[in-house]
Amino acid sequence: MAEKRYESDLTGKEKRHLEWEKIKGMTWKQRIGHIWTYYKIHMAVLIGVLLVIGVIGQIIYNSRFETVFQAAILNGGTGDAESMTEDFKEYLGDGDKYHEIVLDSSMYFVGDESADMTSVMKLTTLIGAQELDAIVCEQSQYDKYVDLDAFVPMDELLTEEQMQEYGDDVLEYAIRVDGSEKLKEFGLDVNQPAYLAVFVNAEHQDNAKEFIRYLKEDENE
């Protein structure tokens, strides 16, 4: 008489074969229930591992990108900031696919404290994190940040030749850009008078100067 064998006595291969035979005899609904009952911990661990791998992969992928210029265009209407971003990158001759330029036209200020709150919080966060290099804005926003000593003086940013080139459009802390054909071309013309100012902590002042040149290039043509 053959000795009775318990499941605990089976080899790993025999256990897998027995498990497969059980599953083959079940309906699809029973199979799903069986797999969830006996393998949910394994599945949770697998999902957790895949999530960790995905997050690490995303971090590694994102680390390859570098923001080389970022500006906010306040009250820029419903223009096409994305196309303007691509055009400015082409203007710079920057063909590096890992170099990112950000022109953010999503913030609006209408003079109502509650309506402006989301834009205030976003702009304050970007400035506090030292992520913004420059800003294009109308008089009220310009005056506010001038009072906070937020901008670099134009005579420190621009050369004497550039100061002469831009003439009367140069202010102490900004340059007027409401005549910019580029802003009009992409539907981002801010209410007059409009100013472009560069933050004192801007990391990409060279590209900020190029952005000024970009906006002013076709103004008098």
Cα 72 to Cα 128: distance, rounded to the nearest angstrom = 14
pTM of the model: 0.69
Digit-coded pLDDT (tens) for 23-72: 666 776 766 666 666 666 666 676 766 666 665 555 554 456 689 999 99
Cis peptide bond upstream of 153, omega within 30: no
Q: Give me the DSSP letters along 120-149.
A: HHHHHHHHHTT---EEEEEHHHHHHHHHTT
Q: Which residue has the higher pLDDT, 205 or 76?
A: 205
What would the pLDDT profile of 100-131 be if each residue is shown by its tens digit? 999 999 888 877 776 688 888 888 888 888 88
